[in-house]
Amino acid sequence: MSGLTIKDINTDSISVEERYALDILVNLPVPQVSKLQELMELEVEDVISPIILQNFIELCQECGLDLSEAGVNQFKDANKLGNTGAVRGIIGPQTAQFYFDAIIKKVTPELPPGTDRNINQAGLDLVKEFEGLHKRCPDGRVEAYIDPVGIPTIGWGHTAGVRIGDIITVEQGEKLLRQDLESSESTVSNLVKVSLTDNQFSALVSFVFNIGPTAFRRSTLLRKLNQGDDQGAANEFLRWNKGGGRVLLGLSKRREAERKLFLS
């Protein structure tokens, strides 16, 4: 169970579709519910309200997920989720996880590999500043460390294949960072349909590197940008400054820096 509070929802009078949507949300871990709220561009908070419930139903519809009784039974049967007897049509933690995975898979953009365009120096410096270079050795090299969520990390947030005890030069760390940025460069190149200056492109790469391609694909920022509203898109940067439902100073400063670079 997620441990989230149900607010202003009368569970005795909601529809079948709303009941199933609520069952999915209350059976997911809090971080996954927060991820869904971010995808729906809603304020992340520790409650499930009518607006969150309705937006989640619309998200499921966009992903082709039918939350009628027949649709839920079909989903459970298709995924071999033990849909007989007393558990038929019941959504528990395992089924909720399957729904979450199905949504993330559906909204994650499938992008062709590679791009000919790269982040510029101003953008790279911005990413370096806010990602931070941690655990410098006395000789100037960089040592692997355990990040706050327990993942071995080195340089500017690189995690792939890292082991505690690894040591690299700063130059090697920058090379790894550039490699890590390639997927964000591809995301921007493939999802943005209008012409971008180098600074606009680089600001967006930093933004995507931080929030992820799925959130960017569904963002109002991208929609406004592709509609030709550069100023509106620039203002959207500032909305993405929260973590765990709270405004974070570091994220606020990063968004301001990305917006400034985008408009320069």
Letter string b/e over residues 153-173, b meaning 16 or more CB atoms within 10 A of that residue's CB: bbbbbbeeebeeebebeeeeb
Asked if 145 contacts 135 with a C-beta cutoff of 8 angstroms, the reply is yes
Largest Cα span, the chain: 67
Tokens coding 69: 């009784």
Q: At what angle do helices 93-107 and 50-62 cross, to 10 degrees?
A: 60
Given 18, 38, 45, 131, the catalytic residue: 131
**Which residues, other chains included, contact 119 with Cβ-Cβ below 8 Å and sequence gap of 6+?**
127, 178, 181, 185, 201, 202, 205, 206
Asked if 221 contacts 215 with a C-beta cutoff of 8 angstroms, the reply is no
Is residue 131 part of the annotated active site? The answer reads yes
**Residue in 91, 15, 9 with CA at minimum distance from that of residue 48:** 9
Tokens coding 140: 């100037």
What's the CA gap between 239 and 237, in Å, rounded?
6
Torsion angle of C-alpha atoms 226, 228, 229, 233, degrees rounded to 10? 30
DSSP assignments along 59-100, one per residue? HHHHTT---SHHHHHHHHHHTT---SGGGTT---HHHHHHHH
> Annotated active-site positions, please?
131
